[in-house]
Structure 1
Amino acid sequence: MSTERSFAKGSAAPGPVPKGHIRLYSMRFCPFAQRARLVLNAKGIKHEIINVNLTDKPEWFLEKNPLGLVPVLETPAGEVITESPITCDYLDEVYPEKKLLPSSPFGKAQQKMMLEDFSKVIPYFYKIPMGKKKGEDTSGLEAELNMKLSKLDEDLVNKKTKFFGGDSITMIDYMMWPWFERLECFELKHCLDRTPELKKWTAQMLEDMAVKATMHRQDSMKAFHASYVAGKPDYDYGL
């Protein structure tokens, strides 16, 4: 269940969260919000999606999250949870069907350490395309990104597993996926040519039902990205 079109400043606040559901405040093209959508889909959680215009935020949304960022979860009891890793951990804990995080404290810690490492890779996916648009030399940044992707590739080689947490998809795979889905629109897909295991991982992720359910077509993603880089993000592109 989704509102699709984004709510902007001056819009009326949505009513209470439907009983037996959880509400996700999202933005259709946001990779951080996609993390929560992946987990909701993977776990089969009944949910409602309210999309938000992040340039012209509704007043009622800022009351829920003064930082104005998505994703934001809201429960029927009016509880509000923010920040993508926290929202995803919350969903895994509250809805025990199909656990995505390991049960052992060490297993959980390992995934959190990997996520911490990956958070340092994310800025490259934005700095490189932005730099190219400005006509800057981004070869140094690209070399750094290649090094970081090689480490991820090495991780899969050493583990001898299909995914980062084993032979089935776990939380860490979903936490990393949204940026790999966008490699083509960032014009960075060639970076996978040096990382055969990572390339295999992306092909396997594309077969996943939750990934298929939350994906956008590449042309839509590219059009949104172009509007974002131009400073006029079209949150309702394609609707």
Structure 2
Amino acid sequence: MKHNILYSFRRCPYAIRARWALLNTNQVVELREVDLKNKPVELIEISKKATVPVLKTSLNQVIDESLDIMIWCIERSNMHALLGDNNDKSKKILSLIETNDKVFKYHLDRFKYASRFNSEELETHQAACMKILLSLNNRLKESSNRRKPLFLVDAKETLADWAIWPFVRQFRIADINDFDQNHEIKFLRRWLNYFFTHKKYPIVMNKNKPWNKVNEPLIFGN
């Protein structure tokens, strides 16, 4: 196998953050866009979960957790500062990501896809999401007050920023006007805009046809 292979889905926030890490650490993969209603046998055979993203390395290692894929990218590229340059900072980074993945995502799904759950509780889940977003906004506000870059941990870009922004993007999509006009999260909006206006954003979010064996391999990150 010539390249590492990433099974992905364009709109999935877990897959987005995996692609973001791959691209920003200069890791080259063969990108296989998955039709979630018709998952390829090759994906199912290497991952019991068969949920994107899944990375199969050129050494046949299978990594099927997005955060693990991101850490693999960072360590492989020797960009360890993104993981925190001391133990306290690393704990802050992982704590923010844990809150995002375990708490924010839970409420986000029930807000964004209320019709699949209990639509009567939509506002409750929206409020729970906003509570977390406001806490992120306050962290960014502290950086702004010190005239430092707007990043979540010690005003430096880290794994936390990379791992969380795709989920904030999803929240925004649920009600774009309300998000964009919400002055309470103005620092968070500026932070998210950093990713939206990044030169690599269009590459990460490019629309690709579902993969099949017949087509030429799609090389991502080259």
TM-score under structure 1 normalisation?
0.74
Looking at structure 2, the residues matched to 181 and 215 of structure 1 have their Cα atoms a distance apart, in angstroms, of 12
Alignment-derived partner of residue 165 in structure 1? 153
Alpha-carbon contact 2:108-2:125 (below 8 Å) kept: no
Looking at structure 2, the residues matched to 114 and 152 of structure 1 have their Cα atoms a distance apart, in angstroms, of 9
The 5-angstrom pairing of residues 113-152 of structure 1 reads 113-119=95-101, 120-131=103-114, 136=120, 138-152=122-136
Query: How big is the alpha-carbon RMSD for the aligned residues of Structure 1 and Structure 2?
Result: 2.7
Query: Which one of 86, 111, 120 corresponds to residue 68 of structure 2?
Result: 86
Matched, 1:199 2:182: no
Looking at structure 2, the residues matched to 91 and 105 of structure 1 have their Cα atoms a distance apart, in angstroms, of 20
Alignment-derived partner of residue 72 in structure 1? 54
Alpha-carbon contact 1:31-1:178 (below 8 Å) kept: yes
- Change beyond 3 A, Cα 1:183–1:135: closer
Q: Cα offset for 1:140?
A: 2.1
Q: Deviations over 1:72-98 (max 9, x none)?
A: 111111111110111111111122158
Letter in 2 for 1:178: P
Looking at structure 1, the residues matched to 13 and 25 of structure 2 have their Cα atoms a distance apart, in angstroms, of 18
Question: Which stretch shifts more, 56-65 or 185-194?
Answer: 185-194
SS, match of residue 117 in structure 1: helix
Identity fraction in percent = 22
Count of paired positions: 203
Q: Cα offset for 1:66?
A: 0.7
Query: Which one of 199, 202, 205 corresponds to residue 215 of structure 1?
Result: 205
Looking at structure 2, the residues matched to 159 and 141 of structure 1 have their Cα atoms a distance apart, in angstroms, of 28
Alignment-derived partner of residue 170 in structure 2? 182
Q: Cα offset for 1:57?
A: 2.2
Query: Taking CA–CA contacts closer than 8 Å with sequence separation of 6 or more, which of the two structures ends up with the larger relative contact order?
Result: 2
SS, match of residue 173 in structure 2: coil
Alignment-derived partner of residue 7 in structure 1? none
Looking at structure 1, the residues matched to 205 and 43 of structure 2 have their Cα atoms a distance apart, in angstroms, of 25
Q: Cα offset for 1:111?
A: 0.6
- Structure number with higher helix proportion: 2
Looking at structure 1, the residues matched to 205 and 80 of structure 2 have their Cα atoms a distance apart, in angstroms, of 21
- Change beyond 3 A, Cα 1:94–1:139: same
Alignment-derived partner of residue 14 in structure 2? 32
Letter in 1 for 2:112: P
Question: Which stretch shifts more, 120-129 or 91-100?
Answer: 91-100
Structure 1: which 5+ residue stretches go unaligned? Answer: 1-15, 218-233
TM-score under structure 2 normalisation?
0.79
- Change beyond 3 A, Cα 1:215–1:56: closer
